Structure 1
Amino acid sequence: MMDHHDPHAGLHSEQGSLKGEHPGRAANPIIKVHDLAWLEFCKPDLQRAESFAHAFGFTTALHTADELHLRGTDAGSPCVLIRKGTRSRLIGPAFQAADPSDVLRLAQATGRKAAPLPESLGGLAVDLPDPSGNRVRVVSGTHDLAALPAQVPLTFNFGHAAARTNGTQRPPRAPAKVQRLGHVVMQTTRYIETLNWYLQHLGLIVSDFLYYPGQRGRGPVMSFIRCDRGMTPTDHHTLAMTLGPVNRYVHSAYQVADLDALAAGGQHLLELGYRRSWGIGRHIQGSQIFDYWRDPDGFLVEHFSDGDLFDCTLEPGWAPMTASGLAQWGPPATKDFLGLAPGREPLRELRGIVRALREDNEFDLHRLRGLLKVASS
């Protein structure tokens, strides 16, 4: 009899859902998006943003007085669009429709209007507000930028398998060349409502659920969500969503060639005076090697490599959320990464807790106790 191994079972994730728990996908979504196209931000200083972007490993695709487009080496859309604005904030994600007709289908189903994008991007878009107030854009027919010369992964000698002889490894301390945008993580006070919106409107499916220890019966509080391309494997998560006292951007992640590119690129960032938030390590959900940095505006950005790829057949894993359970190996999660270090962000979260507990949303006293237990774990 064939043994069907479930990669979610074992050390880190419990095997599958219990009866009556969230299925992790919509039965009949309006469309199914193909990928994350780009992220749009507002920032007051485009020159400062560009300087960090180049050190992080992006290439400038467009720079005007009011707009900055940053790209990776892969062909396709820019990874990040930055508009000049009075304060730094995430405007929202843009997703690539699987078929050009899907933009019109989504517009018709939601009572919105599809509109042409600027000539610098090309194509058509429909904009929707998610339940957390983010602007979500679905695009099709955008211009594809040609591929740039990529960073070549090193040749490794694994154990006794000697693929490299009479040669040395000398990776330079230089920017890790970003290949592409991988995922974005957002926090919301209306987690289940917002999760269901993305599953129903964009056809995303959940790879892993996390719940607060002792509160599994109250449902999950975080999900790692991927695109549904049928039997074509996709990133373990294109979007991750977590419950919290404030609706906000958490971080975004960008793929690089390998561990050496990530580590040498990190040394380059340190030498330029930029601040590592947490790393280097390997995550559990998603399995990717990670390294987190703060940009000059305080936004968290991640270099990653060697992430999991799932097709549509894999059902969600379930696991308790703990701070110590964020990595298979690496240094302990820092206070900066967890949002506990002194600064503006923790103060905003504290004020947000007071507001959230007064409002009608999913962040109540039980959830607050669960979050505090995670932070102390």
Structure 2
Amino acid sequence: MSGQHDVHSGLHSERGALAGEHPGRVGNPVAKVLDLAWLEFVKPDLERAEAFAHAFGFTTAHRTVDEVRLRGSDPGSPCVIVRRGPRSRFLGPAFLAADSADLLRLAEATGSRVTPLPESLGGLGLDLADPSGLRVRVVAGTHALPALSPQQPHAFNLGHEVVRVNGTQRPPREPARVQRLGHVVVQTTKYRETLDWYLRHLGMIVSDFLYYPGQRERGPVMSFIRCDRGATPADHHTLALTLGPSNRYVHSAYQVADLDALAAGGEYLRERGYRRSWGIGRHIQGSQIFDYWRDPDGFMVEHFSDGDMFDCTLEPGWAPMSASGLAQWGPPATKDFLGLAPGAESLRELRAIAHALREDNEFDLRRLRGLLKVAKS
């Protein structure tokens, strides 16, 4: 597109699209969401979930017998809503639209209905389903929570640039205070159809595509997707989609102040018996410093800091997918992070592979070979 940056300028990718490949955006989307509003989960033990949430760095914004809302220090919506239920599951994301006019356009395009949200949340919402069956809520006009006192970033003496004199660094070993919700990653058996649905209905745009080595001609299998805020920079990805044998939540990510907050917060979690999945390291796509943990229900959650911010002019990058290509530095990706560790999750994925190969979807035998090659890389 005219006026857009060339990815070959070294901004974020060594490769751009080839002729005829997916452009990573659509013209005239139905609406353009501004951000993630919150994520919704069901869990049987709210007390246990809330205890982990506080150790991870959330603050409780609202609590009833059957629901807890968890927030960061930034003003706005809660980050996570957890409802009591018989088994743990991810209900879906809620995206924030600019106003009710966006909701009405979406309702008309999809045959859905705009309804008032609970008074304690305020505003309006409508529920959609993406092609993989995930419930996607779009909201507008919700109540804005006031800002809380933030965790202050540290002053660093970087190289010969001295800004801290007669002072020491003593980051306290305390929860890394979550600032905000950053992104959610989901797996789908209908990757291309689902990708196009988000671009067309929510006006999102792709920052980076990944493809299986040796299968670029078949198209991408993962996309990091951001909100289109025009000239206002947005997170490198608010949503990431990846092809796989099942439709499922992969992880969600929450911003903290800096590396010290992330590392000291990780020590706080470790000392309380919580399980690190992978970290600490720095990603390639998105550049975030990351640290992944498992909550008591097995959901993967990420602390991150220093992520990339792109405006609407940046074209998608293209790169081969590999396990070693997930980080610039840090320990190798763990079997737990890759879903290969022995246990209930890997068994569910094995059963899903057998089922997916019998169904009519994008996850076929050649894609399975590509996925296994990635896991071994």
Corresponding residue for residue 165 of structure 1: 165
The one-letter code sitting in structure 1 at the alignment partner of 2:301 is V
Corresponding residue for residue 189 of structure 1: 189
Corresponding residue for residue 255 of structure 1: 255
Tell me, what secondary structure is at the counterpart of 1:325? helix
Tell me how far apart the structure 2 counterparts of residues 243 and 24 of structure 1 sit (CA, whole Å). Answer: 16
Shift of 1:109: 1.4
Corresponding residue for residue 51 of structure 1: 51
Tell me, what secondary structure is at the counterpart of 1:33? coil
Tell me how far apart the structure 1 counterparts of residues 171 and 89 of structure 2 sit (CA, whole Å). Answer: 35
Tell me how far apart the structure 1 counterparts of residues 12 and 214 of structure 2 sit (CA, whole Å). Answer: 16
Corresponding residue for residue 149 of structure 2: 149
Corresponding residue for residue 291 of structure 1: 291
Shift of 1:28: 1.6
Tell me: CA distance 1:38–1:11, structure 2 relative to 1, closer, same or farther (3 Å). closer
Tell me how far apart the structure 2 counterparts of residues 349 and 10 of structure 1 sit (CA, whole Å). Answer: 37
Shift of 1:32: 0.3
Shift of 1:293: 0.1
Shift of 1:99: 2.5
Corresponding residue for residue 273 of structure 1: 273
Contact 2:323/2:374 (8 A) holds in 1: yes
The one-letter code sitting in structure 1 at the alignment partner of 2:161 is A
C-alpha offsets along residues 27-80 of structure 1, whole Å, 9 cap, x if unaligned?
A: 121000000000000000000000000000000011111101000000000000
Shift of 1:305: 0.1
- Answer yes or no: is 1:322 the counterpart of 2:322: yes
The number of equivalent residue pairs is 374
Tell me how far apart the structure 1 counterparts of residues 204 and 304 of structure 2 sit (CA, whole Å). Answer: 22
Deviates more, 1:100-109 or 1:323-332: 100-109
Contact 1:60/1:70 (8 A) holds in 2: yes
Tell me, what secondary structure is at the counterpart of 2:357? helix
Contact 2:183/2:253 (8 A) holds in 1: yes
Contact 2:6/2:315 (8 A) holds in 1: no
Contact 1:56/1:175 (8 A) holds in 2: yes
Contact 1:6/1:15 (8 A) holds in 2: no
- Answer yes or no: is 1:233 the counterpart of 2:233: yes
Shift of 1:6: 4.7
C-alpha offsets along residues 335-371 of structure 1, whole Å, 9 cap, x if unaligned?
A: 0000000110000000000100000100000100000
Shift of 1:15: 2.4
Tell me how far apart the structure 2 counterparts of residues 135 and 324 of structure 1 sit (CA, whole Å). Answer: 32
Shift of 1:11: 11
Tell me how far apart the structure 1 counterparts of residues 62 and 76 of structure 2 sit (CA, whole Å). Answer: 14
Tell me, what secondary structure is at the counterpart of 1:53? helix
The one-letter code sitting in structure 1 at the alignment partner of 2:206 is V
C-alpha offsets along residues 95-115 of structure 1, whole Å, 9 cap, x if unaligned?
A: 000233111111111111000
The one-letter code sitting in structure 2 at the alignment partner of 1:258 is D
The one-letter code sitting in structure 2 at the alignment partner of 1:166 is N
Tell me how far apart the structure 2 counterparts of residues 111 and 61 of structure 1 sit (CA, whole Å). Answer: 33
Tell me, what secondary structure is at the counterpart of 1:297? coil
* TM-score of the pair, normalised by structure 1: 0.98
Tell me how far apart the structure 2 counterparts of residues 5 and 69 of structure 1 sit (CA, whole Å). Answer: 40
CA RMSD of aligned residues (A): 1.2
The one-letter code sitting in structure 1 at the alignment partner of 2:129 is P
Tell me how far apart the structure 1 counterparts of residues 181 and 323 of structure 2 sit (CA, whole Å). Answer: 25
Tell me how far apart the structure 1 counterparts of residues 273 and 257 of structure 2 sit (CA, whole Å). Answer: 23
Contact 1:12/1:319 (8 A) holds in 2: no
The one-letter code sitting in structure 2 at the alignment partner of 1:306 is D
Tell me how far apart the structure 2 counterparts of residues 26 and 11 of structure 1 sit (CA, whole Å). Answer: 22
Percent of aligned pairs sharing the same letter: 79
The one-letter code sitting in structure 1 at the alignment partner of 2:289 is I
Shift of 1:321: 0.1
Tell me how far apart the structure 1 counterparts of residues 120 and 361 of structure 2 sit (CA, whole Å). Answer: 39
How is 1:315-354 mapped onto 2 (pairs within 5 angstroms)?
Answer: 315-354=315-354
Tell me: CA distance 1:149–1:196, structure 2 relative to 1, closer, same or farther (3 Å). same
Corresponding residue for residue 311 of structure 2: 311
Corresponding residue for residue 137 of structure 1: 137
Q: Which runs of 5+ in 2 are unaligned?
A: none
The one-letter code sitting in structure 2 at the alignment partner of 1:173 is R
The one-letter code sitting in structure 2 at the alignment partner of 1:131 is P
Tell me how far apart the structure 1 counterparts of residues 58 and 11 of structure 2 sit (CA, whole Å). Answer: 36
Shift of 1:151: 0.3
Corresponding residue for residue 123 of structure 2: 123
Tell me how far apart the structure 2 counterparts of residues 14 and 209 of structure 1 sit (CA, whole Å). Answer: 12
Tell me how far apart the structure 2 counterparts of residues 53 and 246 of structure 1 sit (CA, whole Å). Answer: 27
Contact 2:93/2:137 (8 A) holds in 1: yes
The one-letter code sitting in structure 2 at the alignment partner of 1:39 is L
Tell me how far apart the structure 2 counterparts of residues 349 and 239 of structure 1 sit (CA, whole Å). Answer: 22
Shift of 1:10: 5.3
